[in-house]
Amino acid sequence: MPAFPHSTTSTPTAIAVPPSLSLPVIEAAFPRQLHPYWPRLQEKTRTWLLEKRLMPADKVTEYADGLCYTDLMAGYYLGAPDEVLQAIADYSAWFFVWDDRHDRDIVHRRPGAWRRLRFRLHAALDSPRDHLHHEDPLVAAFADCMVRLYSFLPQTWNTRFAGHFHEVIEAYDREFRNRSRGVVPTVEEYLALRRLTFAHWIWTDLLEPSAGCELPDGVRKNPAFRRAALLSQEFAAWYNDLCSLPKEIAGDEVHNLGISLIKHEGLTLEEAIREMRRLIGKCVDAFLVAESDALRFADGLDDGTVRGKELSTAVRACVRNMRNWFSTVYWFHHESGRYMVDSWDDRSTPPYVNNEAAGEK
């Protein structure tokens, strides 16, 4: 049967998940859902990519829908107001394009271009309105995303989000240096870096505008809530590593849990895949426990006051969407053209990227 009761393609078909990537617990215990705004979301994000010149028109036409970037967000931030989901989806599409630029700057040995982009993104994060018309489309589009995302919640949320993304930019710089030098981080080093490059706390922050409520520190930092949030993101990052391992080996990547296991733990490729599946399975099991704890915490916030009820409702919405992250990430990896390496002419060069000297002007 199709993974989705409302398929995101015009010709729904059953998705064949390779045995090495199949997780029956996700397919059975994490029903997939889709935000009702999804059809408009896909259309508007496709238009936004064109308007912001983030991808050439021919690549948008040929690849944008098949990359399923909007599907990923529409399956995660359920309950979000349409304008919030649209801003998040455009930002997510930008993030993937930025990730591809970062990769091409490494492949084509453009440290100067990467350094300029890094500093420009830091600046745009702090003063996005000043960068809306920047000469680099990637910077201008990022500024557009920030202006919109900063409009939903108070300045305290904006400051926290900016601090988290400054860390992500610097983590990408560490990845640039590691790859340029051929340095494979140890498993422990990699897992710490991955929490930043996968932007764990960015996607968690965005649960709040989706729920229409900024959560106070005491709620966000509650151990039950924070553990559920972390585990949902760890699953996504590690499952991404499992699915992208062939792509990243072909592209001479050094940042992948499997690559670190092979390099530093002496595992064969097959053993590394088994170990990754074991860790992912443990993560899912741990989330199911953490989810229950977080929902009990949410219940306890409802103390009979208006504020207590508001916080309890918002936390429950956030935790429900943490659960949605499992299914939407899982199916995204089997639907998106981003991971269909075997269909590419060159396994080291994704067909949807601009492989020219972007950023050198």
- So what's the pLDDT on residue 291? 98
Query: Please, where are the H alpha helices in 55-136?
Result: 57-59, 65-67, 69-74, 82-107, 111-126
- Mean pLDDT per block of 10 residues along the chain (361 residues) reads 41 71 95 96 96 94 92 97 98 96 93 98 98 98 98 98 98 96 95 96 98 97 98 97 86 89 94 96 98 98 96 98 97 89 74 64 39
Instruction: Measure the CA–CA gap between 12 and 345, rounded to whole angstroms.
Output: 26
The sign of the dihedral angle between the CA atoms of 15, 67, 345, 238 is negative
Other residues' Cβ atoms within 10 Å of the Cβ of residue 99: 15
Sequence letter at residue 123: A
Q: In 3-state terms, what secondary structure has residue 49?
A: helix
**Block residue for tokens 């039950």:** 224
Q: Is residue 355 within 8 Å of residue 349, measured between CB atoms?
A: yes
DSSP 186: P
Other residues' Cβ atoms within 10 Å of the Cβ of residue 185: 20
- So what's the pLDDT on residue 360? 43
Instruction: Measure the CA–CA gap between 315 and 120, rounded to whole angstroms.
Output: 35
Query: Please, where are the H alpha helices in 182-268?
Result: 187-197, 200-205, 207-211, 217-220, 223-250, 257-265
Q: Which residues are catalytic?
A: 95-96, 198, 338
